[in-house]
Amino acid sequence: MTREYLKQATLTPKSNAAETHLIVKEILDEIEAGGDTVAMKYAAKFDQYEGNVLLTPEEIEAAIAQVPDKLKADIRFAHDNVRRFAELQKSTVSDVETEIAPGFITGQKAIPVDAAGCYVPGGRYSHIASAIMTVTTAKVAGCKHITACSPPRPGVGVAPAIIYAAHICGADKIMAMGGVQGVAAMTFGLFGLPKANILVGPGNQFVAEAKRILFGRVGIDMIAGPTDSLILADSTADAHIVATDLVSQAEHGYNSPVWLVTDDRKLAEEVMDLVPGLIADLPDVNRDNATAAWRDYAEVILCSDREAMAACSDEYAPEHLTVQAEDLDWWLQRLTCYGSLFLGEETTVSYGDKATGTNHVLPTSRAASYTGGLSVHKYMKIVTWQRATREGSKAVAEATARISRLEGMEGHARAADVRLAKYFPDETFDLTANG
């Protein structure tokens, strides 16, 4: 299929993985060996904060009092949407059982993990929405204990709006600690916390690497890279809105890729003309991020038709995928690889990032080709069980014995043999591998 790059990335979003791994591994090892004291040492070094690690009820109330009423209302609005969508997701998983064969019952149970650790970024930006997305879904899933962990600002502490969001969404403890040390504290059960069964939430490359290293000892939502967004647009799209949406996502970070895929050259050229001016109009920090992201990582791709556009999108498997084109139902049915899909000009990634209810913790770096984003299901173990009558176990035992011997697993075969011998002492069975 024809594909022409009108703008091509000069860089890919890769950090110095080997160096980051060594730094994070050393910190994790030291904290695991030294416990609370060493975690506090790193908090003083990186967070430059020496206040309470676990916020007291009085500190939480004092922070809440600083949040304007209008912002509180907005946070409650977003929380309600996320909660209701999470409840809908939970309703799609149920405990079931079936008689797989006469007298042999098998079943499934969905069991939430006990303790969830929710990391909420609070450095350059105060990610209020991340507190809503992570804590709410853990609460709806049924986790017994939820820790919200966010980096404090020097001399200030955790942003009051993050504290308010975590509190109303159901956090049992709010921890003022960031980075690797915060992740370690939740994992190792420091400061009197229960050891986390799962770690969720976005973070920088050090947080992501900590989760990568700890995965296996604990569950994680995903290993996330820089956020990325792709827009599919045809000749009916509004170039100014397309350009604005691209810039809105480029401000995430200097290495956050944004991509435009279109079959209309005129639209592509107009968008490329508009983007620099829109970036120049941003506040300083946002402008610096968006400038670098657009310059080094953005791409504008011209395709021959909508099928070629869809194929390109599926290949990129973006975290966020927006369609601003005709026949939205066709795109909904055709597209298969994305973290979250935004259909039509009337919605935008920013809505999903903050307030619509779908989760904004999503797969990046083409991981959407094999996984979805954070949901109540990430906190739940889908386990199975079985029960049988003696008669119901007969055929299963015979098959198990023969298959096991064919595989050379004599111990497995004998576990079936002894049951047949006990339950049916007067019967003879051919349990050899060759039958």
| Rounded distance between C-alpha atoms, residue 322 and residue 328, angstroms | 11
341-347's contacts with Cβ under 8 Å and 24+ in sequence apart are: 345/237, 345/238, 345/241
Phi/psi-derived region of residue 303, left when phi > 0, alpha when psi is between -120 and 50, beta in every other case: beta
Count the Cβ atoms, other than its own, within 10 Å of residue 379: 28
Joined together, the tokens standing for residue 148 give 């919200």
8 Å CB contact between 113 and 379: yes
Write down the H helix ranges in 35-94. 36-42, 57-65, 69-90
Count the Cβ atoms, other than its own, within 10 Å of residue 224: 24
Catalytic residue among 127, 145, 252, 320: 320
Residue 56, phi then psi, degrees to nearest 5:
-80, 160
Residue 140, phi then psi, degrees to nearest 5:
-65, -35
Joined together, the tokens standing for residue 137 give 């879904």
8 Å CB contact between 279 and 250: yes
Q: Quick one: which of 214, 219, 217 has its CA closest to 200?
A: 219
3-state secondary structure of 141: helix
Phi/psi-derived region of residue 378, left when phi > 0, alpha when psi is between -120 and 50, beta in every other case: alpha
From the number of C-beta atoms within 10 Å of its C-beta (0-12, 13-18, 19+), residue 414 rates as middle
Amino acid code (one letter) for 270: E
Joined together, the tokens standing for residue 91 give 């309703």
Is 319 a known active-site residue? yes
8 Å CB contact between 2 and 308: yes
Catalytic residue among 319, 345, 346, 410: 319
Sheet holding 145-150, edge to edge: 173-176, 145-150, 115-119, 198-200, 219-220
Cross-strand partners of 321: 230, 341
Is 270 a known active-site residue? no
Catalytic residues: 319-320
